[in-house]
Amino acid sequence: MKTPIVLNGKTILVTGSPGFIGAYLVIRLLGELGGGTVVSLDNMNDYYEVSLKEWRLRQIEKAAAASGARHVFVRGSIGDKALVERLFEEYRFDIVVNLAAQAGVRYSIDHPDAYIESNIIGFYNLLEVCRRHPVEHLVYASSSSVYGGNRKVPFSTEDRVDFPVSLYAATKKSDELLAHAYAKLYEIPSTGLRFFTVYGPAGRPDMFYYSATRKLAAGEKIQIFNYGDMSRDFTYIDDIVEGIVRVMRGAPEKKTGEDGLPLPPYALYNIGGGRPENLLDFVSTLQEELVRAGILPEDYDFAAHRELVGMQPGDVPVTCADSGSFERDFGFTPKVNIREGLRAFAEWYREYYKL
């Protein structure tokens, strides 16, 4: 059973906005809420170009201008404990959605400090302040990367995830453990969401589909890892946001166990389509949609711009979500297919870069 939560009129913190997922979530909330306050918190770091985050922030501000709810943007880091404490003192948040994190598997190999500060210390700061200022629901982003080298597919939240192959994955697994401990000790209703390869318009430029588009548009070759023998459970951004909003509305119920002690109000779900796409097929669809959008010419030589290479450190050959428990508890399965999603991205890319 879930404890139902009415979002309208509430004060909601979304960390990691105007990051990719955070921006879409805030825009969705502002479009639906007739009252209340949504606070976006992001440090606007230069992991990728800040101009894209600024563009997303402008879209949020447009949504706020037409909304019955108020939007406040705060520039800062969840790693700043004093700032986090001050915001909770000022706004008394009802719901917290933590999407702030240092992202990227490969970047973590050379920049570990950024992951410890944001993904570990920052999340700890949020848990601590939720303990002192109780919230109705803490929703936080985990990642499919926690499954590491698991060979059993599809990946289930019941599987062991004790063998991360990157520091990024290790920090996300650590967040799940911390959230469970705080849910048990302090009865903080917490739900973790393992996202599977999120993509779409205005996404992260370090993601493969985005960086490949840049290279192809510049006439450069793209590298296809593991010689193309890879599959990913790509999940379109609108499906991810729909999942988050449904989760926000249903917190884990507080219960007492047979020993008379509180059971942790804690839940963990996969959000993915459960339909892995072969990387070569994905690239072919991307190239076709780039041609359709006019980003690449009709006679584009696909074969000449592909280079098959070996596996990268920290990568895995396949990801596939078992989202059965999410569908059961929230009645939703991702619906947007790769063709639709990449078409929307290609059209956005053409407009954003004025091609």
Q: Which residues are catalytic?
A: 168
Q: What are the backbone dihedrals phi and psi of residue 204, each rounded to the nearest 5 degrees, phi first? A: -85, 125
Between CA 6 and CA 248 the distance in angstroms is: 9
> Which long-range contacts (C-beta less than 8 Å, at least 24 apart) are formed by 147-154?
147/316, 147/319, 148/316, 149/316, 153/276, 153/318, 153/320, 154/233, 154/274, 154/320, 154/321, 154/322
d(CA 17, CA 40): 5
Q: Give the CA distances from residue 107 to residues 187, 204, 313, in Å, rounded to whole numbers and listed in that order.
A: 35, 13, 11
CB-CB contact of 201 with 237 (8 Å) = yes
Tell me how far the alpha carbon of residue 186 is from its chain's centroid.
Answer: 26
φ and ψ of 238, to 5 deg: -65, -35
Question: 100 with 150: CB under 8 angstroms?
Answer: no
